[in-house]
Structure 1
Amino acid sequence: MAYQDIEVSEDGAVGWITIRREDRLNALRMTITDVEIVSALNEFGKRRDIRAIVLTGAGERAFCTGWDMGEIEQTSLTDLEDMVRNNMALFDAVWRQRQPVIAAINGHAVATGAALAMACDLVVASENAKLAEPEIRHGALSPFLVMPFLTHAKVVHEFYYLGDPISADGMLRLGLANRVVPQAELVTTAQALGERLSLVPREALELKKRSLKAAYDGMGLRATTERHALSDTLMIGADLPWQKALQEELREGGMRAFLEARDGPFRRKR
């Protein structure tokens, strides 16, 4: 299959999916990038020789910076709900992929990018990696409410309430990353981790992953994320005065003005 937004490759028993929208900081086009990632996962899922998958972004600045905001302007609430549910399908595909999926975070993992990284089974982060979900500041909620199942409650509250980023060292300390390495070692470390996974008997590893996901469902993950997706849709489509003001900043001043209006007050209040 020919892909527009991603590159699919393999190295031995390890499959690689690389988001290649470096000029847009690897932001996702929901009707294209999301679909392509799911398709690539499905193709790898059919392969018995591919034992682990690495998901990463092109370049050194960003793993993925979420939705490409140019894709959601002037969207109806009904269409927004479809888009949010399609995004959920992406997270679910990663979360429930037959093989373990490793996130190789090569820079900023923001909004949907952060959720995508947390949906992976294992995380290798470069030293300059950052995890952030600042979208609450412009009238959206977490796209995949998975962090409550991964780390401590007070950390979760601060992350989701304020939208401040977590550094690579913070991710390691909080159990959100398995390894933190220099940028130059990210690819080789992720590949080596995938190769270690390939040494485990395939059937045992796949059944263990299935059991682990069932444990999270038993703790309420599926019901929580589905209910939260509706809240996210309602919040995005609310069209409140402060949301309108931020969107006006984006239209009139571009992304730099938008980010300053959204994030500037938080930098000054640290």
Structure 2
Amino acid sequence: MDAKNILCEINEGVAVVTVNRPESLNALNSAVLAELECVLYGIEQDQTVKAVILTGAGEKAFVAGADIKEMAPMTSFEGHRFAQQGQRLVLFIEKMTKPVIAAVNGYALGGGLELALACDVIYASENAKFGFPEVTLGIIPGFGGTQNLARLIGPNRAKELVFSGRIITAAKGLEWGIVNELTPLPELKEKALGLAREMAKNGSVAVGYAKNAIVNGLNMTKEDGFRYESSLFGVLFATEDQKEGMGAFVEKRKAKFQGK
């Protein structure tokens, strides 16, 4: 697919993926969702990529939400199908074997916040804003927002944000545990790149398994999560990266991981 609304740069094992519709504050429509899913699928298959940064073009918005002009005339069936398309993208990001960092450079509202919540880490600029204004439009978050936000910050905080349609500051997002770290806007990309490079230098198989353990473990009982973790731990001892990593430690040299 020729991605007209998505930019992708790959350097030193890090893919920077940018939603590029600044004229509409990077709003998500069906075409953008399809392009983003296609680009991320290609990145998932690319063994040279070890970490991903997801951001938005310009200085005003990460993604200001779903495209209301496209949604307004939708039938019930079309609305359901649109939500399923967004959820498929969110679930794909959550299940990617590579860590995904959201670099939130402005408004992350509605579908934009849902996109950020699907990522493993959220770094935000000090001018960022977060919220689910869907109820002010007569709908609810449809790309997994009600589920992911409640799991991240607890049901009471999630209800407060979703039921009110309120937009909160980046500082409040940090206080509530939505954001990992705040940074001035000019420093945001480099800050995200620093973390991505730090992740990329590690054993990529192990990083992918760690993500798998955390994401899937959240849907298990604690005991089942422990069992799942130990099984993944054991499997890693059959990998070349484990041999290289531990061998390098014993030999007091830098490990050269191959992702195998």
TM-score range, shorter chain: 0.7 to 0.9
Cα distance between partner residues in 2 of 1:33 and 1:189: 26
Q: What TM-score comes out, normalization by structure 2 length? A: 0.81
Greater Rg over alpha carbons, structure: 2
SS at match of 1:206: helix
Letter paired with 1:83: F
Cα distance between partner residues in 1 of 2:86 and 2:8: 20
Q: How does 1:27-38 map to 2 (within 5 A)?
A: 27-30=27-30, 32-38=31-37
Cα distance between partner residues in 1 of 2:153 and 2:201: 28
Tell me whether 117-126 or 142-151 shows the greater mean CA deviation.
142-151
Letter paired with 1:200: N
Q: Deviations over 1:112-139 (max 9, x none)?
A: 0011111110011000001110111211
Counterpart of 2:6 in structure 1 is: 6
SS at match of 2:7: strand
Q: How does 1:1-270 map to 2 (within 5 A)?
A: 1-30=1-30, 32-143=31-142, 144=144, 145=146, 146-218=148-220
Letter paired with 1:148: A
Cα distance between partner residues in 2 of 1:49 and 1:39: 17
Cα distance between partner residues in 2 of 1:23 and 1:171: 26
SS at match of 1:154: helix
Counterpart of 1:263 in structure 2 is: none
How far apart are 1:94 and its partner, in Å?
1.3
Cα distance between partner residues in 1 of 2:199 and 2:167: 30
How far apart are 1:96 and its partner, in Å?
1.2
Q: Deviations over 1:150-185 (max 9, x none)?
A: 113321121111011221111222221111000000
Counterpart of 1:227 in structure 2 is: none
Letter paired with 2:170: A
Consecutive unaligned residues in structure 2, runs of 5 or more = 222-260
SS at match of 2:218: helix
Letter paired with 1:169: A
Cα distance between partner residues in 1 of 2:172 and 2:202: 29
Letter paired with 2:152: L
Cα distance between partner residues in 2 of 1:204 and 1:98: 9
How far apart are 1:29 and its partner, in Å?
1.4
Letter paired with 2:9: S
Cα distance between partner residues in 2 of 1:83 and 1:167: 28
Question: Among the aligned pairs, what percent are the same residue?
Answer: 28
Letter paired with 2:12: G
Q: Deviations over 1:44-65 (max 9, x none)?
A: 1111221110000000100001
Cα distance between partner residues in 2 of 1:114 and 1:218: 25
Cα distance between partner residues in 1 of 2:184 and 2:29: 29
Tell me whether 68-77 or 126-135 shows the greater mean CA deviation.
68-77
How far apart are 1:40 and its partner, in Å?
0.9
Cα distance between partner residues in 1 of 2:90 and 2:150: 15
Q: What TM-score comes out, normalization by structure 1 length? A: 0.78
SS at match of 2:163: helix
Letter paired with 1:12: E
